[in-house]
Amino acid sequence: MDDSPIPNANPNSVTSFNHSHADSIISSLLSFPDSSPISIGSSFDRLLDKALASASGDVSDQDRLVDRTLELASLLLDSTKRCFRKRASVHNSNSWFLPPELTIKVFSMLDTKSLMQASASCTMFNKCAMDRLCYSHIDLTTAAKHADNGVVCTMIHRAGKELRSLNLGRVVRPAGSDSLASLLTGSCLSPLSYNHGFIGSRLRSLRLYNIRPMIWKSLCDALSVCSNITDLRIVGLYILSEQLFKTLATKCRFIEHLFLETYGCQSTLDTKTGSALVEFVTNCPNLSSLTLIRFRLNGQMSRNLAESSRKLKYLNLSRSPTIKGRFLRDLGINCKDGPLKTLILRNCPLLEEKEVLEFCNSLLTGDFKSIQHIDVSNDRGLASAGGKRSSKPNLPLEKLKEERPGVKFVADFSVTSSEKRSNVCDEEELRLIEMMETKDDGEDDNSSEDDDNSEDDDGVEDDYSDEDIYGDHILL
């Protein structure tokens, strides 16, 4: 660079030139011969100082010149970054050995957190990760601390008509915790109702863990459009309402697996709510698995639940603070040939030893021909005469094992930890329940894939552009 005068150094002077002139100037800059970075930097410094000197004596004019120079430098840097990303994207597309459709298929198998990490790695992966199929199964339980209503709504919109399962909230609930900070509320499910419930009607599985405050009306509104849901799990319900079970009975007729766990509900189910629950079980033709944790059920309600369903194979009434076990006698009489295979009554503090013994005797006489698994384990033992607790009840388990070898009777009354409390359903127990349910489901799994090719798109557009990409990296 020479020391000739700089044209148009005054920022107030207006120069009109076309794009060709601008391209020529930028081309000259790019074709600058290789030189030491120090010498190039010195040239820039010298020319900028000369431009400032030739400007008017007004400080504000000099400031505007400096600002304009910074703006031009920023534009050059941004343009260089965009070119780098484009080159990296082309390189990745040429180097990646899978076609886009197979890449999308692989991405659809990732958990949601891993999918987000992959989408942020490069433009090519980001485009593949935007496909609706990648959001068929949304699971934000591993990222519950960072997932708010906006994130959930965005994910649901991305999935659109491909949405099949949705898992939200925090699975882990600290023992003794009365409240959990959560970024999610019941309104996070509102997108399911958009477009006359089009997205909600595609949902098959909904699992909500410890989302509070969860307003029951918001929950009912969301469930009312999930007409094809088959798996519903809600952990941490604070309020049990008649409307919830009425909604399930009238709008969710195809439920096969229902899991509800209450937290903080102190009162026994009232007659209306209990009747609505029994009505749902009675009128749900496909219900095969029912789990009600910490429900305050009386003996009549418990018996009605077991007797009402036509296909119920798995019944879990663990941690009920009111069940004494009297209903087991009635089951032995009325459900001799019923389909029930698994009965779980873990940690029910009022479960009586005499009723469990009577149940064992009914098994020995041949009742419950389909039963395969019973669990009456209790950290505190069984209730016995005189208000005492029995940790070593005299149950005919050896005889039962000989005469009914196909029946697994679990009766563990050992206290494994002094910190365990009968009113806490911890993560370990939830996982145990899930494993038992999965084992039971695997025996009669006749599920099939849905054919959605004839359906129209929901018309929800993804409002994401290249500006949303975090960055590009060349794949090795």
> pLDDT digits over 385-431, tens only?
888 888 888 899 999 999 999 999 999 987 654 444 444 445 556 65
Q: What's the N-to-C CA distance of the chain in angstroms?
A: 40
Distance, CA of 324 to CA of 292 (rounded, Å): 16
* Residues 386 and 421: beta-carbon distance below 8 Å: no
- Nearest CA-CA partner of 364 in 405, 315, 335: 405
What pLDDT does residue 475 have?
Answer: 38
Q: For the whole prediction, is pTM greater than 0.75? A: no
Q: Using one digit for the tens of pLDDT, what is the confidence trace for 271-306?
A: 888 889 999 998 898 999 999 999 998 888 888 888
What pLDDT does residue 217 have?
Answer: 81
* Residues 421 and 175: beta-carbon distance below 8 Å: yes
- Nearest CA-CA partner of 95 in 389, 434, 476, 402: 476
* Residues 286 and 444: beta-carbon distance below 8 Å: no
* Residues 376 and 382: beta-carbon distance below 8 Å: yes
- Annotate 289-314 with DSSP letters as a single string: EEEEET----HHHHHHHHHH-SS--E
Question: Which residue spans within 43-196 are E strands per DSSP?
Answer: 137-139, 165-169
Q: Are strands 342-344 and 373-375 parallel, antiparallel or unpaired?
A: parallel
Q: Using one digit for the tens of pLDDT, what is the confidence trace for 433-454?
A: 655 555 555 555 444 444 444 3
26 Cβ contact partners less than 8 Å away, ≥ 6 residues apart = none
